[in-house]
Amino acid sequence: MSEQTLTETAAPAPGHALKYTRNNPFHATVLVNDLLTGAGSEKETRHIELSLDDGMQYTPGDAVGIIPENRRDAVDEVLAALKYTGSERVLDHYKVEIDLEEALRTRLAIGKLTRGSVTQFGKLAPGHAGLKDLVGPDNKARAEEYCWGREFVDLATDFPGVVTQPQQLFNVLSRLTPRMYSIASSQALHADNVQTTVRVVRYESHGRERQGLASGHMGDRAPVGATFPIFLHANAAFRLPEDSTTPVIMIGPGTGIAPFRAFLEERQATGQTGDNWLIFGEQRRALDFLYQDQFEAMHRDGLLARLDTAFSRDQAKKIYVQDRIAENAAELYAWLERGAYFYVCGDASRMAKDVELALLDAIAQGSNGTLEHANEYLAEMKKAKRYQRDVY
Ligand SMILES: Cc1cc2nc3c(=O)[nH]c(=O)nc-3n(C[C@H](O)[C@H](O)[C@H](O)COP(=O)(O)OP(=O)(O)OC[C@H]3O[C@@H](n4cnc5c(N)ncnc54)[C@H](O)[C@@H]3O)c2cc1C
């Protein structure tokens, strides 16, 4: 199927929802785009609701794929750096002829720079003195350092005149790829829409204001009524227990909260009776407690047997979700012994590892066993699908 379909195919008629895929997405309408974080927060986290076509179905634990476009001003900056107008004609990945402007907006990843792009760029000007220092196996570290915090526009600006034909950009830049967002809603409560929790990536580096491609799109260019292409992505490896009476423990700091809002809504809507324990973490209670009213109401109503929070910046000593696990190790182990499932969602780089260490510790303490025994216990939990992670 032509990639042209990513942005140009008309949506199939209702009743053909199963045909929506990343290559044939549904053009969803933004129904809600609310800021969840308070003024003054270091994070900009948004709650977004998107329309679905008849027959589009998801299960808590799934993700929604969003097919982004590069910002027009980011495209204009690249065109200016390359000294093109944008009306030059190029062949896209499927040999469909389009304007360079459209290629840069909808086909090519002009955001964060990769070493691969620098290498391909270098091949266009093999004798270039400055570029020589950034290519080849001996210059890996230097190239990585150059790429950090830079985008293609920086490369094109730092080394002008290297691209001599617009078509060369298809060798230099990789394809624009969809971004995944954990679904934050249960379809049992919201039959015709899908909800997500998006942290908008914004930063300044090397003298330019930058933003994440998809999250920036949702932060700045997705008001209520706007449309953009989406598809649903099933994740069978992240699911509520089949037995609705089984207890669950959910560790979801930051946007990691999203699938647990979906789990809890599902358990509420379908009358599941298993105990639920949520541990949420962020920087500050007053500014960053995502979905506070909803979770506190669930706690009051008894749906959440336990709601623990860890706000790292509300006191001198930073407190994280793993600290809450450590403080409650005995009870947590008792829940595990009752057959509880243990879920983790959110940051893969540090949080998920720290949580796993705290979990192992809790198991070792609770069982009066060694760390080796705790590792075996956790391996058994994994085998029984009682330890599930969705980390990114
Ligand atoms: C299964 C799955 C579920 C996910 N669920 C969610 C979710 O529920 N909510 C959510 O918000 N995200 C979620 N994500 C992450 C999401 O898919 C995107 O990766 C994220 O939104 C960033 O994408 P972007 O297009 O906005 O940014 P990109 O254009 O991809 O840019 C991000 C990149 O910018 C660079 N960068 C960022 N900050 C800085 C800085 N300060 N200095 C220098 N460089 C920097 C880094 O290289 C970073 O990788 C999920 C990912 C997966 C795989």
Candidates 50, 196, 392: which one to mutate for ligand 1, based on the most atoms within 8 Å of Cβ? 392
Candidates 181, 202, 228: which one to mutate for ligand 1, based on the most atoms within 8 Å of Cβ? 181
Whole-number pLDDT of residue 3: 32
Domain that holds residue 137: 72-172
Of 124, 146, 172, which marks where a domain is finished?
Answer: 172
Whole-number pLDDT of residue 17: 52
Same domain membership, residue 340 and residue 212: no
Same domain membership, residue 219 and residue 279: no
Same domain membership, residue 193 and residue 61: yes
Same domain membership, residue 195 and residue 132: no
Same domain membership, residue 288 and residue 385: yes
Whole-number pLDDT of residue 130: 86
Ligand 1 atom nearest residue 258's Cα: 8
CATH number at residue 104: 1.20.990.10
Candidates 66, 114, 215: which one to mutate for ligand 1, based on the most atoms within 8 Å of Cβ? 215
Candidates 70, 145, 179: which one to mutate for ligand 1, based on the most atoms within 8 Å of Cβ? 179
Same domain membership, residue 58 and residue 194: yes
Question: In this predicted model, what pLDDT tens digit does every residue of 115-150 receive, in sequence order?
Answer: 999 999 999 998 898 899 999 899 999 999 999 999
The verdict on residue 79 lying in a domain is yes
Ligand 1 atom nearest residue 215's Cα: 26
Same domain membership, residue 215 and residue 86: no
Whole-number pLDDT of residue 1: 33
Segments of the chain with pLDDT less than 70:
1-18
Whole-number pLDDT of residue 10: 42
Residue nearest to atom 20 of ligand 1 (CA): 215
CATH number at residue 56: 2.40.30.10
**Residues with C-beta less than 6 Å from any ligand 1 atom:** 63, 111-112, 149, 179-182, 196-199, 201, 203, 205, 212-216, 255, 258, 390, 392
User: Pick from 286, 344, 351: which is nearest to 36 by CA?
Assistant: 286
The verdict on residue 121 lying in a domain is yes
Same domain membership, residue 264 and residue 185: no
Name the domain count of the chain: 3
Question: In this predicted model, what pLDDT tens digit does every residue of 201-247 receive, in sequence order?
Answer: 999 999 989 999 999 999 999 999 999 999 999 999 999 999 999 99
Please tell me the distance between residue 181's alpha carbon and the centre of ligand 1 in angstroms. 10
The verdict on residue 270 lying in a domain is yes
Same domain membership, residue 276 and residue 152: no
The verdict on residue 321 lying in a domain is yes
Contact between 242 and 248 under an 8 Å Cβ cutoff? The reply is no
Please tell me the distance between residue 335's alpha carbon and the centre of ligand 1 in angstroms. 33
Candidates 46, 69, 112, 391: which one to mutate for ligand 1, based on the most atoms within 8 Å of Cβ? 112
pTM for this prediction: 0.93
Same domain membership, residue 382 and residue 278: yes
Same domain membership, residue 220 and residue 149: no
Residue nearest to atom 18 of ligand 1 (CA): 179
Contact between 267 and 276 under an 8 Å Cβ cutoff? The reply is yes
Ligand 1 atom nearest residue 390's Cα: 1
Same domain membership, residue 375 and residue 340: yes
Ligand 1 atom nearest residue 184's Cα: 8
Please tell me the distance between residue 212's alpha carbon and the centre of ligand 1 in angstroms. 7
What is each CA distance from 63 to 6, 108, 236, 263, in whole angstroms?
18, 23, 11, 13
Please tell me the distance between residue 246's alpha carbon and the centre of ligand 1 in angstroms. 33
Q: Are strands 26-35 and 227-233 parallel, antiparallel or unpaired?
A: antiparallel
Give 307's strand partners: 278
Residue nearest to atom 24 of ligand 1 (CA): 212
